[in-house]
Structure 1
Amino acid sequence: METDANSSFVGCKTRCTGANYTSMVSACDGFGCCQSMIPSDLQGFRVDLRRENSTFLKSSGDQDCQYGFLASNDWFQPNKTDLYALRDGDYAPVVLNWGILDASLPKSLRLQLDWTVLTSDEPAECRTTSYVNKSTTPLIRCSCNDGYIGNPYLRDGCLDVNECELPEWQLLDWRRSCYPQKCVNIPGNYKCSNGKRTVTSLIIGLSSSSGSLVLIFLAWWMYKLIKKRREAKLKEKFFKRNGGMILQQQLTSPDGNVEKSKLFNSKELEKATDHFNKDRILGKGGQGTVYKGMLTDGRIVAVKKSISIDEKNVEPFINEVVILSQINHRNIVKLLGCCLESEVPLLVYEFIPNGTLYGYLHDPEFPVSWEARLQIATEVASALFYLHSSASIPIYHRDIKSSNILLDEKHRAKIADFGTSRSGALDQTHVTTLVQGTFGYLDPEYFRSGQFSDKSDVYSYGIVLVELLTGQKPTSSLVAENWIGLASSFIISMEEDCLFDILDPQVRKEGGEEEIIVVANLAKRCLKLKGRKRPTMKDIVIELEGIRNRSQPATGLAEHQGKADCDASEELGADVALSISRGSEADVGSVQLSDGHPLLTSDTW
Structure 2
Amino acid sequence: MAKLTLYLLLPSIFLTCVSASYVHSVDSSTSKCSDIPISYPFGIIGGNPAPAQGFEIRCASSGPMVRINNVMFGVLNISLLDGFVSILASATSQQCKRNSSFSLEGTNFTFSDTRNKFTAVGCDMVAMLLNGSSGYSGGCASFCSTESNIIDGMCSGVACCQASVPKGLKKLELEFTNITGQLSRPNKVNNTPTCAEAFIVEQNSYVFSNVDLSNTNRNNPQYRPVVLEWSIDGGYCEEANRSMSYACKENSYCYNSSNGIGYRCNCTIGFQGNPYLQGPDGCQDIDECTIKRPCTHKCINTKGSFQCMCPAGMRGDGLKEGSGCNGIGTMLIGIGKFLKPCLPVLPFTGLALLLLLLILMFWTHWLVKKRKHNGGMLLKQKMFSQGAPLRIFTSSELDKATGNFSGDNIIGRGGFGIVYKGILSDQMVVAIKKAQRVDQNQMEQFINELVILSQVNHKNVVRLLGCCLETELPLLVYEFITNGALFHRLHNTSLPISWEDRLRIAVETASALAYLHLATKEPIIHRDVKSSNILLDENFTAKVSDFGASRPIPQNQTHVTTLVQGTLGYMDPEYFQTSQLTEKSDVYSFGVVLIELLTRQKPIDGKMDDVRNLAYHFSMLFYQNQLLEIVDPQVAEEAGTKHVKTVAQLALRCLRSKGEERPRMIEVAIELEALRRLMKQHSLLQSEEDPMLCELSCHIDMNIEASSRLSLDNTKEEESMGTIMLPNRDLSC
Counterpart in the other structure of 1:235: 368
TM-score normalised per structure 2: 0.44
Counterpart in the other structure of 1:215: 334
- 1:544 is aligned to 2:672: yes
Q: CA deviation at 1:243?
A: 6.4
Q: What is the rounded CA distance, in whole Å, between the counterparts of 2:373 and 2:670 in structure 1?
A: 45
Match among 298, 301, 326 for residue 455 of structure 2: 326
Q: CA deviation at 1:311?
A: 1.4
Counterpart in the other structure of 1:299: 428
Q: CA deviation at 1:424?
A: 1.8
How many residue pairs get matched? 341
Q: What is the rounded CA distance, in whole Å, between the counterparts of 1:337 and 1:371 in structure 2?
A: 34
Contact 1:394 1:423 in 2 (8 A): yes
Counterpart in the other structure of 1:514: 642
Match among 516, 519, 525 for residue 653 of structure 2: 525
Partner-residue secondary structure (3-state), 1:337: strand
Pairing of 1:250-329 with structure 2 (within 5 A) = 250-253=382-385, 256-258=386-388, 260-329=389-458
Which is strand-richer, 1 or 2? Answer: 2
Q: CA deviation at 1:360?
A: 0.7
Q: What is the rounded CA distance, in whole Å, between the counterparts of 2:476 and 2:369 in structure 1?
A: 18
Listed one character per residue, the Cα deviations across residues 400-448 of structure 1 (whole Å, up to 9, x for unaligned) are 0001110000000101111111112121221111100001001000000
- 1:474 is aligned to 2:593: no
Gap change, CA 1:545 and 1:215, over 3 Å in 2: same
Counterpart in the other structure of 1:432: 561
Partner-residue secondary structure (3-state), 1:242: helix
Q: What is the rounded CA distance, in whole Å, between the counterparts of 1:287 and 1:227 in structure 2?
A: 34
Alignment root-mean-square deviation, CA: 2.7
Q: CA deviation at 1:393?
A: 2.1
Q: What is the rounded CA distance, in whole Å, between the counterparts of 1:283 and 1:407 in structure 2?
A: 14
Partner-residue secondary structure (3-state), 2:434: strand
TM-score normalised per structure 1: 0.53
- 1:488 is aligned to 2:620: no
Pairing of 1:67-146 with structure 2 (within 5 A) = none
Q: CA deviation at 1:284?
A: 1.2
Q: What is the one-letter code of the residue matched to 2:553?
A: G
Match among 591, 594, 603 for residue 465 of structure 1: 594
- 1:396 is aligned to 2:396: no
Q: What is the rounded CA distance, in whole Å, between the counterparts of 1:414 and 1:284 in structure 2?
A: 17
Contact 2:382 2:447 in 1 (8 A): no
Q: What is the rounded CA distance, in whole Å, between the counterparts of 1:214 and 1:251 in structure 2?
A: 41
Q: What is the one-letter code of the residue matched to 1:215?
A: G
Q: Whose radius of gyration is greater, 1 or 2?
A: 1
Gap change, CA 1:304 and 1:218, over 3 Å in 2: farther
Pairing of 1:497-512 with structure 2 (within 5 A) = 497-512=625-640
Q: What is the one-letter code of the residue matched to 1:547?
A: L
Q: What is the rounded CA distance, in whole Å, between the counterparts of 2:338 and 2:459 in structure 1?
A: 54
Higher relative contact order (CA 8 A, sep 6+): 1
Partner-residue secondary structure (3-state), 1:374: helix
Pairing of 1:331-342 with structure 2 (within 5 A) = 331-342=460-471
Q: What is the rounded CA distance, in whole Å, between the counterparts of 1:286 and 1:429 in structure 2?
A: 28
Pairing of 1:21-32 with structure 2 (within 5 A) = none
Match among 370, 381, 385 for residue 514 of structure 2: 385
Partner-residue secondary structure (3-state), 2:442: helix
Q: CA deviation at 1:468?
A: 0.2
- 1:417 is aligned to 2:536: no
Contact 1:478 1:489 in 2 (8 A): no
Percent of aligned positions with the same letter in both sequences?
50
Gap change, CA 1:342 and 1:521, over 3 Å in 2: same
Contact 2:486 2:534 in 1 (8 A): yes
Q: What is the one-letter code of the residue matched to 1:491?
A: S
Counterpart in the other structure of 1:359: 488
Q: CA deviation at 1:217?
A: 9.8
Unaligned runs of 5+ in 2: 1-329, 340-353, 688-720, 722-733
Counterpart in the other structure of 2:33: none
Gap change, CA 1:214 and 1:257, over 3 Å in 2: closer
Contact 2:376 2:471 in 1 (8 A): no
Listed one character per residue, the Cα deviations across residues 179-199 of structure 1 (whole Å, up to 9, x for unaligned) are xxxxxxxxxxxxxxxxxxxxx
Partner-residue secondary structure (3-state), 2:653: helix
Contact 1:281 1:291 in 2 (8 A): yes
Q: CA deviation at 1:224?
A: 10
Contact 2:383 2:451 in 1 (8 A): no
Partner-residue secondary structure (3-state), 2:412: strand
Partner-residue secondary structure (3-state), 1:263: strand
Contact 2:376 2:472 in 1 (8 A): no
Partner-residue secondary structure (3-state), 2:532: helix
Gap change, CA 1:471 and 1:217, over 3 Å in 2: farther
Partner-residue secondary structure (3-state), 1:301: strand
